Amino acid sequence: MSTLITNIGELTTNADDGTLHAAAVLLEDGRVAWVGRAVDAPAAAEIVDAAGRAVIPGFVDSHSHIVFGGDRAAEFEARMAGQKYAAGGIRSTVAATRAASDEELRARLRGFVDEMHAQGTTTIEIKSGYGLDIHTEQRLVRLAAEVTDEVTFLGAHVVPAEYADDPGAYVDLVTGPMLDACAPHARWIDVFCETGAFTVEQSRRVLEAGIARGLAPRVHASQLGPGGGVQLAIELGAASVDHGTYLTDEDVAALAASDTVLTLLPGVEFSTRQPYPDARRLIDAGVTVALACDTNPGSSFTSSMPFCIAVAVRDMRMTPSEALWAATAGGARALRRSDVGLIAPGARADLVMLEAPSHVHLSYRPGVPLIRAVWKDGTIV
């Protein structure tokens, strides 16, 4: 089965050919088979006329927490009335998640995946972290693996209430039997390295244990204040360090000199009313930056990459092109993937047609549903 999308007004490829106009893309067997000028396009079984609209790579959302039970709308409402965000709010979702059945969690998860597809996201990373006991954490990674290959074990999300007096014993659990139960279902190991969650030394234990089990590291760090998490992530060769709202000059220089991506999560600053990270400072220093939603019931309950792009442009001083790159190719780098986040021969046929002549409209027309069509693996979703 082959599909030719032709008469594309603006095609962002994220490949060597950059942006093409009056372009066409041939999709074949779930992959991009050809990219070029519409007048040179090969024949195909099916023709889709883009009528001058823009086409971009599908969004790569490299950071989400979408397997959970419960709802925290009341906490959000209180926060908007002036209450401060703290990492401990995670525990209320843990109680609701433990109480939910697999069927309830699965139905909710699939609803979020559909919601993300409809907004142009074609690659989704999903973390555990709302179980915090062996049985529930294993359920979460198993359910996540039903819908994505990018599964992250985040048993070290926060210390659960029952270990509040002995966090060291909880780290023993996470790095021992919980890791044994979850590693077969996961690709990544993650830790929330932050005051109120895990110290740098505890985070190192978690990440090193995961690496020893064949998982690759990624880290939540410097969301609520500066800390050692960024340097630890770089030292351990993490694919990405996420949040990075409070970075020292040493952190920025070390990131620029490393292969570690800094994943910015503007939905968090929006929803917690924290200051936005300085994306301009990072990009100008040569740091590779990704954008992701961090969809979760506490600190960022948007699943919209177009929304995150609009905030990144408006409030974090990224250009529209930088924000689009970060939400596609940047996300792919953060997942160490070379087959997504671009439109080039051999890449997965994951594309989005916008109801707009240019990708700039993603931030120029915030909140407007501009996703006209989404192809994942060459099939319309």
- 287 strand-pairing partners: none
Q: State the nearest-atom distance from the C-beta of 265 to Zn ion, in Å.
A: 7
Q: State the nearest-atom distance from the C-beta of 63 to Zn ion, in Å.
A: 6
Q: State the nearest-atom distance from the C-beta of 29 to Zn ion, in Å.
A: 35
Assess 61 for contact with Zn ion (CB under 5 A).
no
Q: State the nearest-atom distance from the C-beta of 274 to Zn ion, in Å.
A: 14
Q: State the nearest-atom distance from the C-beta of 10 to Zn ion, in Å.
A: 33
Q: Which is nearer to Zn ion, 156 or 309 (CB)?
A: 156
Return the structure tokens found at 370. Answer: 């501009």
Q: Which is nearer to Zn ion, 126 or 173 (CB)?
A: 126
Beta pairing, strands 371-376 & 351-354: antiparallel
- 371 strand-pairing partners: 354
Q: How far is CA 366 from CA 113, 309, 350, in A?
A: 22, 9, 23
Q: Which is nearer to Zn ion, 221 or 371 (CB)?
A: 221
Q: Which is nearer to Zn ion, 210 or 320 (CB)?
A: 210
- Whole-angstrom distance, CA of residue 351 vs CA of residue 373: 8
Q: Which is nearer to Zn ion, 63 or 337 (CB)?
A: 63
Residue nearest to Zn ion (CB): 294
Q: Kindly report the CA angle at 335 between 332 and 338, in degrees rounded to 5?
A: 50
Q: Is 9 left (phi over 0), alpha (psi -120 to 50) or beta?
A: alpha
Rounded to a whole number of angstroms, the distance between the first and last alpha carbons of the chain is 16
From residue 257 to residue 296, the character string flagging contacts with Zn ion as x (rule: CB under 5 A) and all else as - is -------------------------------------x--
Q: State the nearest-atom distance from the C-beta of 134 to Zn ion, in Å.
A: 21
Say whether 208 sits in a helix, a strand or coil.
Answer: helix
Return the structure tokens found at 81. Answer: 């009335």
Q: State the nearest-atom distance from the C-beta of 261 to Zn ion, in Å.
A: 15
- 354 strand-pairing partners: 371
Residues 191-220 binding Zn ion (CB under 5 A) are none
Q: State the nearest-atom distance from the C-beta of 51 to Zn ion, in Å.
A: 39
Q: Which is nearer to Zn ion, 137 or 294 (CB)?
A: 294
| Closest by CA position to 153, among listed 215, 205, 78 | 215
Residues 289-308 binding Zn ion (CB under 5 A) are 294
Q: Which is nearer to Zn ion, 55 or 66 (CB)?
A: 66
Q: Which is nearer to Zn ion, 194 or 294 (CB)?
A: 294
| Closest by CA position to 126, among listed 293, 262, 271, 360 | 293
Which residues, 6 or more positions from 90, have their beta carbon under 8 angstroms from its beta carbon?
129, 130, 157, 158, 298
Q: Which is nearer to Zn ion, 34 or 270 (CB)?
A: 270
Q: State the nearest-atom distance from the C-beta of 103 to Zn ion, in Å.
A: 25
Q: Kindly report the CA angle at 322 between 232 and 259, in degrees rounded to 5?
A: 25
Beta pairing, strands 379-380 & 261-264: unpaired
Count of residues touching Zn ion (by CB under 5 A): 1
Residue 33 near residue 365, CB atoms below 8 Å: no
Q: Please report, as ranges, the residues that interact with Zn ion according to CB under 5 A.
A: 294
